[in-house]
Amino acid sequence: MPIVGNPAPDFEAQAYYKGEFVNFKLSDKRGQWVYLLFYPLDFTFVCPTEILAFSKKAEEFRARNCEVVGISVDSHFVHKAWAETERAKGGLGGVDIPLVADLDKSISKSYDVLAGAVALRGLFLIDPEGVVQHATINNLAVGRSTTEAMRVLKAFQFVQEHAGEVCPADWDEGVEPMKASPEAMAEYLATRID
């Protein structure tokens, strides 16, 4: 069964967040949007660029009622060490998103991103009702875009607020949406696609 359109698998696990170990439970986030950002391992190569990029934009996501949560198969102790190690030594030098420990790999398995011993680069957008609205999975060598993640969040929030409208390719705020009808689609294609 595909994960998109279905309830997000709930989980509870230890996390490192803002200098503390905390208990993170996905279902506690009901009422807000959540991005789950799976990544292979702490202290590796592409991973810190992604975590730092999403951390840098964390307040922008929060302003749109969306929490970004990093998840890897490392322990919460390793997350702490990575977050507190300075960047010049391969660490994050601080981070503004929770880093969830999936040491037993159960969370990665439930989201079908486990590839051998590590998680692939899965990104899952969960709506306030706990339903997965968007999912992408990258292989290990290529990171995700915060710009695209924000655009997708805006689009799903738009269609949730505007029943009967849909967001065509490359839609972003300020771009005309489309009504979900054959006539509106034909008009849109005739007047806006060149």
Residue positions annotated with a catalytic role: 47
Residue 176's SS3 state is coil
- Residue 3: Cβ-neighbour burial (10 angstroms; 0-12, 13-18, 19+): middle
- Can you give the three-state secondary structure of 142-172, one letter per residue? CCCCHHHHHHHHHHHHHHHHCCCEECCCCCC
| Helices and strands per DSSP (H, E), number in the chain | 6, 11
- Calculate the alpha carbon distances from 2 to 141, 144, 184 in Å: 24, 21, 29
